[in-house]
Structure 1
Amino acid sequence: MSKNTIKIIPLSGVRENGKNMYLAEVEEDIFIFDCGLKYPDNELLGIDTVIPDFTYLEENADRVVGIFLTHGHADAIGALPYLLERLEVPVFGTKLTIELAKINVHKNEATKKFKDFHVIDEHTEIDFGSGVVSFFPTTHSIPDSVGICLKTSEGNIVYTGDFKFDQSAVPMYQTNFARLGEIGKEGVLALLSTSSNAENPTPVASELTIADEVSDTIFYWEGRIIVAMVASNLQRLQQVLNAAHRADRKVVLTGQDFGRIIRTAMKLGKIEVPEDNLIITQKEMKQYPPERLIVLETGRMGEPIKSLQRMANGTHRTLRIQEGDLVYITTTPTTAMETNVAKTEDIVFRAGGTVKMISENHRVSGHANPDNLQLMLNLMHPKYFIPVQGEYRQLAAHAELAEKVGIPKENIFITAKGDVLEYRKGLLEPGGAVPAENVLIDGIGVGDIGNIVLRDRKILSEDGIFIAVVTINRREKKIVAHPQITSRGFVYVKTSRDLIRESADMITTIVEKHLQDEDFEWSKLKQDIRDRVGRYLFEQTKRRPVVLPVIMESSQRHKPRR
């Protein structure tokens, strides 16, 4: 790579929500901004998480100078263990972000001994020769959030991370506007800015307003309160703790991971508990009347909602919603979760509880709205703009906002995962692509689930499975044990005897035909059974189960009886 050559590569985190990871290449050095994951949608049956494709980084491992993190949420740090299994590179972040990253990394057996973590703050500058990395505080739903500035000989490359502007933010969450102005005056070559809320013009309520709402709701309710929230929203947690203190209530935490996050934040002074013994264990709940309790039900994405359903229908391992309970949902559900939330409300009301959502009265978000995004653009004055962190429609909406503040359309790039933008001879232009497929995590398997497996899971979930077991003797060219049919999720065998019998006869005919073939092949036999039986079952039922032929071979010679 020649001198002064710069590449910007959104490895993931564009045309999708979550899984943020962006690369800046300056001369021979590669800088990684964030290393996040995302949780799967309903189409990815059984998949636990989705992470970026690290192929390009593995191929250029000796050029990576570091991983720079903006905040401690899973969409920024969740994929770290999987990357650090492949690359041994330093990790940089603020104090809380690094501690949360350590929890994440050290849970993984392969990376539990990794120690190359470096704590930074807004005054840190790290000179790598090809560029100087510095940081600026931003407002988000978790403390210690920062944006990243990479100073190069051609200008600054700025990545905002998740942010919003809130003039009433408490000191721990405040944005350093002066620093943003300084970066803009130095000259910004390219700005990578979050687009999550770019298409929604509704103003986001200030956290001071939200804090009053939470406090009043908790203070004036007479029964037990169950608060549902995303585990990583520490700002909301602080508001609940403050409201509990004011209302003379005790707070019960659920979930080990959440407790670990809370203890870490408390140790670093990022969460302030207003009084001793405010937080109690589930075992201690019996010592207090319901009107003095707040139960915090937390999790990732939709997990709090699923837990509420279990509480309402009596299948939760420890808690059950009772008459007079208030279920207070303090997170704004995604569009995909709205139906699930409505279903949860109905179940809770049936159990005797009441549901209140914080989004009924206010728009709540930790992400910048259009006005915030345009203010960031005006502070930065970038030559080139790359909207990131959002679905395509959100990136497009952000691009329109950029045009309205004077950035030329030809200087705005809506990228796909893996697209390479190359700055050469004073121009930033598309320059090919690198591998950037989704890598699926299922249990301990990383990347071993592909489209074929997902297709089979989808069919199994919709039409079930049809298993036929046959034992043959190839030497004697005969069937030793005729087809035994098993069905799961397809038809009820006892009421479909004719269908099962006809299927078994068809399989017998197919097997006998193949046994007489001089060019007998196992694969051809199994495929023939799958194709012909599959067609027959569809004709009879209009369903397409997975047809699984199990052909066993017996080598024992069968003597004719005398």
Structure 2
Amino acid sequence: MSNVKIVALGGVREFGKNMYVVEVDDVIFILDAGLKYPETEMLGVDFVIPDMSYLVENADRVAGVFLTHGHPDAIGALPYLLSEMAVPVFGSQLTVELAKIRIKEVDGSKKFDDFHIVDESTEIDFGAAVISFFSTTHTIPESLGIVVGTENGNVVYTGDFKFDPAVGEGYKTNISRLAEIGTQGVLALLSDSANGLTNLQSASESEISDKIFDTISDWDGRVIIASVAGNLARIQQVIDSAIKLGRYVAFTGQDLDLIVKTASDLGKLRIDDDKMIIDPKDINKYEDKELLILETGRMGEPLKTLTDMATGRHRFVKIKEGDLVYTVTSPTISYETKVAKTENIVYRAGGIMKMLSSDLRVSGHANSRDLQFLLDILKPKNLMPIQGEYRELQTHAEHAMEVGMLPENIFLAKRGEVITFNAEGNFEPNGVVSAENVMIDGSGVGDIGNIVLRDRKVLSEEGIFIAVITISKHEKKIISKTKVHTRGFVYVKNSRNLMKEAAIKVDEKVKAYLAGDNFDWAEIKSEIRDTLGKFLYDQTKRRPVVLPVVMEVRQNDFRQKRHVKPKKKVEKVEKTEKID
């Protein structure tokens, strides 16, 4: 019997950041390496990746990274993992090509080239386990589920999936392959829960395609489509509709050109007429009724870019009267407020905003009936709901019990919780590993923590108050009295008395401190910070970030020489007569 462990480093009790570890005896298999976009309170953070310290500490035991699909929630953290450890990466052809785009964005992983193309017919024997795959339906072609075959039975990871018989080639789920995996015996199922709160059927891809075509055809002005860059099914539908209607298409998303070119070169995205694709710099050469602009935004998130378009900050497009902004992706619950604000800004600019999700139920994830159907096919002994907030995981568990699974065979894991299987093959918690959020801010990895985020929040809400004073530590006196400055706290012209009183308070505190016997730089700054903080709160009931700056003047033990400015030397020039 094999010793099997499962650890979720991300993707449980949260949406995105998928990364799961399956250990069979002493061999580690990493399933996906994704990121998630920051929540509202994560000010200035670009995105969040899993804590990989457990993997780095055990790098010699890692057999490889196995990717389910090419979206950021599955491959976005891969460059940071490969910067720490060079291990083989396995995925479908499109997934690998999209992963290569990502790893070139990070210096530490640019030279990595140990990729292996797999499909659902691939089997890889690692001794401790046999890895195989199955095709799934998602919003990007060549999505795969992963099977870790052990002596105890299969550990099956679905990745993001749904069931839709109306999808095109490259998107279809292989039901017979799923049935085959089920007959082999499934020890544990790690199953997508992102859409498990509803039993309503999502619209089929053919219905979505018809709706996009109808919406565009009914509009006489420019059409600006907002989509996620990785949703190639939706991008294909938009391009097809535009070309049928004789509209030229301009790609303005930062990631979109590379993704479209990669998918097109591999035959995963079809463009029937290349002449209909134009450079965004040439938008003004065409009439509004001839244009369709496809925007995906930075890191595939288009909402911020729409705001830039509406406020005139976008380099190619400014939303104007008569524009239709059509959002063809379904934002998560955490983005609902941002969607509402974006819609308001678009309307102020003169445009009209519509959402595909207002007319059709759109999702790339399985609903509760799909989840139960999968359970019926695979008949797993144990279930670990993944990819979702806690309420979604809990609902998934309830749906599993409706089809006969026992509560003791369902485990709602926490990040970092180690799950082992006992002699009977049942879940058993067995310790934890480090699995905190690692925040990426520009080129910084993990250097942003809760304290920094708290300070950013205070700065954004209360502002900053700076007090600068110059002292002589040797003579124990103030050389230059306090000067105060503020940003984002109060309007200075209307608060001159407050500023003067604050400066006087600092002078008094520093003078009293210098009169004492001891001197410590940290202590004097702390005294100023406490005094100012209390005074400002008493006066305004607000708590800005107080930044004391204490400078020291040191005495020279030599005389200052007087520098005399040399006189300018003037040469005497004799005057001569000019002879004609």
TM range (shorter): over 0.9
Q: Distance in 1 between matches of 2:32 and 2:229?
A: 20
Contact 1:4–1:424 (Cα < 8 Å) also in 2: no
Q: Distance in 2 between matches of 1:66 and 1:307?
A: 36
Pairing of 1:41-120 with structure 2 (within 5 A): 41-120=39-118
Pairing of 1:177-326 with structure 2 (within 5 A): 177-299=175-297, 303-326=301-324
Report the equivalent of 2:120: 122
Contact 2:198–2:368 (Cα < 8 Å) also in 1: yes
Pairing of 1:10-25 with structure 2 (within 5 A): 10-25=8-23
Does 2:472 match 1:478? no
Moved more, 366-375 or 504-513: 504-513
1:351 Cα deviation after fit: 3.2
Contact 2:465–2:487 (Cα < 8 Å) also in 1: yes
Q: Distance in 2 between matches of 1:527 and 1:354?
A: 53
1:105 Cα deviation after fit: 0.6
Q: Distance in 2 between matches of 1:324 and 1:270?
A: 34
Does 2:537 match 1:545? no
Report the equivalent of 1:434: 433
Q: Distance in 2 between matches of 1:312 and 1:256?
A: 18
Q: How high is the TM-score relative to the length of structure 2?
A: 0.94
Give the SS at the match of 1:65. strand
For the aligned residue pairs, the C-alpha RMSD in angstroms reads 1.6
Per-residue CA deviation, residues 415-446 of structure 1 (Å, 9 max, x unaligned), is 11000001132232000100111111111111
Give the SS at the match of 2:255. helix
Q: Distance in 2 between matches of 1:476 and 1:342?
A: 61
Moved more, 225-234 or 327-336: 327-336
Q: Distance in 2 between matches of 1:62 and 1:261?
A: 33
Per-residue CA deviation, residues 306-339 of structure 1 (Å, 9 max, x unaligned), is 2223323333222122332221111122223323
Give the SS at the match of 1:230. coil
Q: Distance in 2 between matches of 1:460 and 1:256?
A: 30
Report the equivalent of 1:400: 398
Give the SS at the match of 2:302. helix
Per-residue CA deviation, residues 257-280 of structure 1 (Å, 9 max, x unaligned), is 210010000000000001231211
1:557 Cα deviation after fit: 6.3
Contact 1:219–1:246 (Cα < 8 Å) also in 2: no
Contact 2:471–2:479 (Cα < 8 Å) also in 1: yes
The residue type equivalent to 1:388 in the other structure is: I
Give the SS at the match of 1:88. coil
Per-residue CA deviation, residues 326-362 of structure 1 (Å, 9 max, x unaligned), is 2111112222332332333333334333222111210
1:523 Cα deviation after fit: 1.2
Report the equivalent of 2:133: 135
Greater Rg over alpha carbons, structure: 2
Contact 2:139–2:234 (Cα < 8 Å) also in 1: yes
5+ long unaligned stretches in structure 1: none
Give the SS at the match of 2:274. coil
Per-residue CA deviation, residues 385-411 of structure 1 (Å, 9 max, x unaligned), is 000111111111111111111111011
Change (3 A) 1:442 1:347: closer
What's the % identity of the aligned pairs? 56
1:302 Cα deviation after fit: 8.4
Report the equivalent of 1:536: 535
Q: Distance in 2 between matches of 1:474 and 1:558?
A: 15
Change (3 A) 1:347 1:445: closer
Q: Distance in 2 between matches of 1:88 and 1:228?
A: 36
Per-residue CA deviation, residues 37-61 of structure 1 (Å, 9 max, x unaligned), is 1110110111111111011111111
5+ long unaligned stretches in structure 2: 559-580
Report the equivalent of 2:555: 556
Does 2:172 match 1:174? yes
1:506 Cα deviation after fit: 1.4
The residue type equivalent to 1:461 in the other structure is: S
Pairing of 1:332-347 with structure 2 (within 5 A): 332-347=330-345
Per-residue CA deviation, residues 1-41 of structure 1 (Å, 9 max, x unaligned), is xx611100011111111100000000010000000011101
Q: Distance in 2 between matches of 1:62 and 1:301?
A: 32
Q: Distance in 2 between matches of 1:428 and 1:35?
A: 24
Per-residue CA deviation, residues 441-497 of structure 1 (Å, 9 max, x unaligned), is 111111111111111111100000011111111111111111110111111222212
Contact 1:21–1:32 (Cα < 8 Å) also in 2: yes
Give the SS at the match of 1:494. helix
Equivalent residue in structure 1 for 2:411, among 390, 402, 413: 413
Contact 1:302–1:337 (Cα < 8 Å) also in 2: no
Moved more, 281-290 or 146-155: 281-290
Equivalent residue in structure 2 for 1:351, among 345, 349, 352: 349
